[in-house]
Amino acid sequence: MALAAALGASGTLAGRRTARLLALVRAAKPTDRSGDEAIRARNELVVVLGQRKLLQRFWPGLMHAFVFWGFLVLAPTILIAMIGIVDRGQTLPWLGSQGWYAAMVDLFCVLVLAGVASAFYVRKVVRPKRFEGSHKGEADLILALIATIVVSLLLWHATRIALGLNEWPAAWSPLSRLLSHLFARDETTRVLERVFVWIHVGTILAFLAYLPRSKHLHIATAALNVWFGRTAARGRLEPLRFEPSEGEREEDLRFGAGSAAELTWKEVLDAFSCTECGRCQDACPANQTGKLLSPKLVIMGLRDQLFDTSEGAREAALVPGAVPEESVWDCVTCGACVQACPVSIEHIDHIVDLRRHLVMVESRFPSEAEPMLRDVERSGNPWGHQQAQRADWAAGLGVRVLEPGEAAPEYLYWVGCASSFDERARATAQATARLLTAAGVDFAILGPRESCTGDPARRMGNEYVFQALAEQNVQTLSGAGVRKIIANCPHCFNTLANEYPDFGGNYEVVHHSELLARLVAEGRLVPARDEALTVTYHDSCYLARHNDVLEAPRALVGALGTPLPMARSGRETFCCGAGGAHMWMEERGRPINEERVREAAQTGAGTLAVACPYCTVMLDDGVQSSGQALRVADVATLLEEGLLRAQSEAQASRQASG
Ligand code: SF4
Ligand code: SF4
């Protein structure tokens, strides 16, 4: 009777709150996360069951994994204990009397306690910065509840062994048996047996009632959030629709997120799932260089706003109500937070949606970005140069400009605005063109018919301008019969490969480092290696983290000199500071590019290799402002030098032998 009452009370409290959470999800805006079930099932196995993302930081990850795996193993003990409350002589059929299961219960009780103790130690003694702003008191309470559940279970088992009530062979549970020596076979132990089982079940029911209101809501939602996470093309932003498509309601349209009512259901689920672990904040280059932005606080702010039941809260402005405006503009869309998050929260979507509302609905954005947005819209490039000057970089190189009506080449070389107009980045385009010519690749450029892909406008929040450019470029490319594209800019690469398919543009896109590495591997380009050339390679976020291009640039560096890797490289790379339209924005706090240049200098390399025109400009600026003795060069430039080296060596050896 008492158990039924406790179950009823806990179920009612949890049910009421769960109904409210479900109502929030149902009222949210639509987003399509269907398909790819095989990938989603794999993510459940690897990210949820395997705790892979948590184990990126091995020791804290392992401690969390002990608690998580422990709860899976210990889950049936809830039923066993409830049966024990009703009738102390009964247990769960089969499982309740298995020795091996009793052994696992003992083992996982110890592991869960180790996990809880280590979490307390980290929170109370180590106090890492990543917990700043998290609900610390609530975390302590939850750790205490978990410890109570586990300790009461062990003591319940111990009293049952002492009373001879254990249905399993006691030898299988050495810890419980050891603890049983604390108890005599008497009336006091009979009372204590009842006390411990009630503490165990009562704490679980209290936890159940509290869970949907707490930060540990992630226990219930994280697996769902991982299931609905992105399955491919991590660098893709979901397009906004400005007209309702067939079957869509006018009220489902949105222009980003201005209020909690405009979040998509995935964004709502993201907010429910945050564990406040701060791993995103720790990885964030903006936060690490003293900016206001904390991706954790962005998600927590949105969750607080969603949970606010006061009148008008659902329609209240998210910026600055839930998220400070400065934070919204601090983001460089590098994706480090998304990669670090153990529950697959997609922070970039949230931040870009906030920007979309500010830019398109309120016309609010940093004033210094205004010329960029204007020039992209009016001139087709963020530098505001004449489109007629787009192919000036190729003067004298014999590069074919694809004219309307001409047959498409095998590869269309998409040069991008930076490599067309910025003096330092132009060197990359020139080296790439010479290398492709030397290797006999059939390629051409669009010249004045190439426009900005729209990436900076889109990341800034101006989806209108992006979509207009995307449609125009897709028309030009598809109209010219283009099938394969070479891009030397990772931002163009990401947009052409991952975002233009949403506008009907489906092309095979390669990054120039991939094609050049292939040409070297095939012997069509034969550079000479220089052992004395020490090179540290900087991974561009849009190449490595968003698009998994890791090996090709490394293969080139390895073919040219001695690679000296930086501490943070590959998918763990640290941004140059240019992404998310930051190439055109003022930077607050310490400059991100100087931070990265310092890290590069620590390797002792003389050359800082890059594979992105934005990185070229940002890191070269960083070298100059921080006074480091480093030369910044694109891998194409370095490869061309390797070819020239090979030619001079061949000439020298001919002279020596002749
Ligand atoms: S995308 Fe990069 S800059 Fe933006 S919040 Fe995430 S980690 Fe920070
Ligand atoms: S967003 Fe993800 S990484 Fe950041 S605090 Fe929340 S759970 Fe942790």
Among protein residues, the one with the nearest Cα to ligand 1's atom 1 is 333
Looking at residue 233, its pLDDT comes to 86
Among protein residues, the one with the nearest Cα to ligand 1's atom 5 is 295
Fold for the domain defined by 380-520: Rossmann fold (3.40.50)
Query: How many Å lie between the centroid of ligand 1 and the Cα of residue 568?
Result: 16
Is the alpha carbon torsion for 194, 195, 200, 201 positive or negative?
positive
* Residue given tokens 């190729």 in the structure block: 394
Locate 549 and state its tokens: 């291009």
Instruction: Tell whether ligand 1 has an atom less than 6 A from the beta carbon of residue 543.
Output: no
Which ligand 1 atom minimizes the distance to the CA of 348?
A: 1
Cβ–Cβ under 8 Å, residues 603 and 564: yes
Instruction: Give 100's pLDDT tier (boundaries 50, 70, 90).
Output: very high
pLDDT digits (tens, 9 = 90+) for 581-612: 999 898 888 999 999 999 999 999 999 999 99
Q: What is the mean pLDDT of residues 327-349?
A: 97
Instruction: Tell whether ligand 1 has an atom less than 6 A from the beta carbon of residue 254.
Output: no
pLDDT digits (tens, 9 = 90+) for 162-191: 999 999 999 999 999 999 999 999 999 999
Is the alpha carbon torsion for 178, 182, 188, 191 positive or negative?
negative
Q: What percent of the chain has pLDDT over 90?
A: 92
Instruction: In whole angstroms, give the CA distance from residue 648 to residue 654.
Output: 10
Which ligand 1 atom minimizes the distance to the CA of 340?
A: 7
Looking at residue 536, its pLDDT comes to 98
Instruction: Tell whether ligand 1 has an atom less than 6 A from the beta carbon of residue 274.
Output: no
Q: What is the mean pLDDT of residues 249-271?
A: 93
Q: Which ligand is nearest to the CA of 340?
A: 2
If one compares 249 and 642, the residue with the highest pLDDT of the two is: 642
pLDDT digits (tens, 9 = 90+) for 149-167: 999 999 999 999 999 999 9
Q: What is the mean pLDDT of residues 229-236?
A: 91
Among protein residues, the one with the nearest Cα to ligand 1's atom 6 is 337
Instruction: In whole angstroms, give the CA distance from residue 501 to residue 478.
Output: 12
Among protein residues, the one with the nearest Cα to ligand 2's atom 8 is 277
Q: How many helices (H) and strands (E) does the chain have?
A: 27, 8
Query: How many Å lie between the centroid of ligand 2 and the Cα of residue 295?
Result: 8
Instruction: Give 656's pLDDT tier (boundaries 50, 70, 90).
Output: confident
Q: What share of the chain is helix, strand, coil (3-state, %, to 5)?
A: 60, 5, 35
Question: Does the pLDDT of residue 24 top 80, yes or no?
Answer: yes
Given strand 534-537, what is the order of strands in its sheet? Answer: 562-563, 534-537, 607-610, 631-634
Instruction: In whole angstroms, give the CA distance from residue 471 to residue 502.
Output: 10
Among protein residues, the one with the nearest Cα to ligand 1's atom 2 is 334
Burial 116-141 (b: 16+ CB within 10 A, else e): bebbeebbeeeeeebbeebeeeebee
In this chain, the answer to whether the domains covering 380-520 and 528-648 adopt an identical fold is: yes
Instruction: Tell whether ligand 1 has an atom less than 6 A from the beta carbon of residue 592.
Output: no
pLDDT digits (tens, 9 = 90+) for 533-569: 999 999 999 999 999 999 999 999 999 999 999 999 9
Chain centroid, CA 233 distance in Å: 12
Instruction: Give 45's pLDDT tier (boundaries 50, 70, 90).
Output: very high
Classify domain 528-648 by CATH architecture.
3-Layer(aba) Sandwich (3.40)
DSSP-derived letter for residue 560 is H
Give me the residue spans of the domains in the chain.
2-227, 255-364, 380-520, 528-648
Query: How many Å lie between the centroid of ligand 1 and the Cα of residue 242?
Result: 27
Candidate CATH numbers 1.10.10, 1.10.287, 1.20.950, 3.10.20; the one for domain 2-227: 1.20.950
Instruction: Give 250's pLDDT tier (boundaries 50, 70, 90).
Output: confident
Instruction: In whole angstroms, give the CA distance from residue 323 to residue 356.
Output: 14
Burial 605-634 (b: 16+ CB within 10 A, else e): bbbbbbbbbbbbbbbbbbbeebebebebbb
Looking at residue 246, its pLDDT comes to 79
Among protein residues, the one with the nearest Cα to ligand 1's atom 7 is 284
Looking at residue 506, its pLDDT comes to 97
Which ligand 1 atom minimizes the distance to the CA of 280?
A: 7
Instruction: Tell whether ligand 1 has an atom less than 6 A from the beta carbon of residue 337.
Output: yes
* Residue given tokens 């204007």 in the structure block: 374
* Residue given tokens 């060197």 in the structure block: 427
Query: How many Å lie between the centroid of ligand 2 and the Cα of residue 26?
Result: 23
DSSP-derived letter for residue 322 is T
User: Which spans in 46-186 are helix H?
Assistant: 58-86, 99-121, 136-163, 174-180
Identify which of 402, 545, 556 has the alpha carbon closest to the alpha carbon of residue 483: 402
Query: How many Å lie between the centroid of ligand 2 and the Cα of residue 48?
Result: 14
Query: How many Å lie between the centroid of ligand 2 and the Cα of residue 636?
Result: 38
Question: Does the pLDDT of residue 227 top 90, yes or no?
Answer: yes
Probe target for ligand 2 pocket from 51, 56, 136, 299, with the most ligand atoms within 8 Å of CB? 299
Q: What is the mean pLDDT of residues 423-443?
A: 97
Instruction: Tell whether ligand 1 has an atom less than 6 A from the beta carbon of residue 347.
Output: yes
Looking at residue 642, its pLDDT comes to 97
Q: What is the mean pLDDT of residues 225-247?
A: 90
Looking at residue 214, its pLDDT comes to 84
Helix axes 512-521, 423-438, angle to 10 degrees: 30
Q: In this structure, are strands 534-537 and 508-511 parallel, antiparallel, or unpaired?
A: unpaired
Residue 429 is inside which H or E element, if any?
A: helix 423-438
Instruction: Give 247's pLDDT tier (boundaries 50, 70, 90).
Output: confident
Instruction: In whole angstroms, give the CA distance from residue 578 to residue 580.
Output: 7
List the CATH code of the domain at 255-364.
1.10.1060.10
Query: How many Å lie between the centroid of ligand 2 and the Cα of residue 495?
Result: 27
Instruction: Give 263's pLDDT tier (boundaries 50, 70, 90).
Output: very high
